[in-house]
Amino acid sequence: MQTKHKVVSPAEWDLARKSLLVKEKELTRMRDQVAKERMALPWEHVNKTYEFNGAQGKETLSDLFDGRSQLIIVHFMMGPGWAEGCPGCSFNADSIDGSLPHLLNHDVSLVVVSRAPYEEIQRFQKRMEWKFKWVSSHDSDFNYDYHVSFTPEELDKGEVYYNYAKIPNKASELPGMSAFYKEEDGEIYHTYSAYARGTDIMVNTYNYLDIAPLGRNEDGPQTMDWMKHHDKYVVQPVATGNGNCCH
């Protein structure tokens, strides 16, 4: 297949790459600055004792810290009665297990939360072979208070509060992530939440695709249609030890 890209000499390629590098360095500095401003955000006191259900039975939000001072919650789209979780949230979740040992040893717990009953979560988690902690908020207001689940009344209006704005929406569940801090006296504070494209930062696969020749290659009308649960792809990776990971 003939490439549509301009083909140049090594010297010309080096000049073009250096030009882009200037912008990449600007982006890196901006990302560092945004990270500092994120840490400088004011905190919101958590006044409710939220309760979750999981492999350890009933646990409060405080319990989810598991002895650490910081907690990241991944809001995973899986509502009551769903046969499987959202493909996009599953795409994100595939990046979690490899990060856990590093997070847990750096004073950060990470827990995935969905509104589906725990028995339904457990079946899907077993199928996907994920090891991270995943609990149900089915019997609490947690998902509603953090604007990732929506009541029938909200859906009837056709508009919900999501990603810090009123938006048209008919979906009962949407994705997000939230961060919390726990003081030594047990007081808990909500420090950050992000939604929609704000969760891209957690998806390692996107970081790889962003340097691939065709990037994310999501320019069609349904940009994420290519994405599947990892056990639904025709080509599956195999561990051969010789660099040939797929067959």
Which two three-digit tokens encode residue 12?
Answer: 């010309």
Neighbours of 202 (CB within 10 A): 19
At residue 244, the pLDDT reads: 53
- pLDDT, tens only, 176-225: 999 999 999 999 999 999 999 999 988 888 888 889 888 888 775 557 77
Q: Evaluate if residue 112 carries a pLDDT over 70.
A: yes
Residue whose structure tokens are 């494209």: 197
Amino acid identity for residue 5 in this structure: H
144-168 burial string, b = 16+ CB within 10 Å, else e? Answer: eebbbbbeeebeeeeebebbeeeee
- Mean pLDDT across the chain, nearest whole number? 92
Q: Is 54 helix (H, G, I), strand (E, B) or coil?
A: strand
Which region holds residue 186: left if phi is over 0, alpha if psi is between -120 and 50, else beta? Answer: left
Taking the model in full, what pTM does it have?
Answer: 0.89
At residue 213, the pLDDT reads: 85
Residue pair 91/205 in contact (Cβ under 8 Å)? The answer is yes
Amino acid identity for residue 174 in this structure: L
| Strand extents, DSSP E, 1-131 | 44-45, 51-54, 57-60, 70-75, 108-114
Which two three-digit tokens encode residue 133?
Answer: 């902690």
Q: Which domains does the chain have, with CATH numbers?
A: 49-202 (3.40.30.10)
Q: Evaluate if residue 126 carries a pLDDT over 60.
A: yes
- pLDDT, tens only, 223-240: 777 788 898 888 777 655
Q: Who contacts 100 (Cβ-Cβ below 8 Å, separation ≥6)?
A: 110, 131, 132
Beta strand 51-54 with 108-114: parallel, antiparallel or unpaired? unpaired
- The residue among 51, 70, 47 whose CA lies nearest residue 60 is 51
Q: How far apart are CA 68 and CA 52, in angstroms?
A: 18
Read off the DSSP letter of residue 234. Answer: S
- The residue among 100, 45, 50, 47 whose CA lies nearest residue 72 is 100
At residue 243, the pLDDT reads: 52
Q: Evaluate if residue 98 carries a pLDDT over 90.
A: yes
Q: How many Å separate Cα 179 from the centre of its chain? A: 12
List residues bridging with 100 in a β-sheet. none
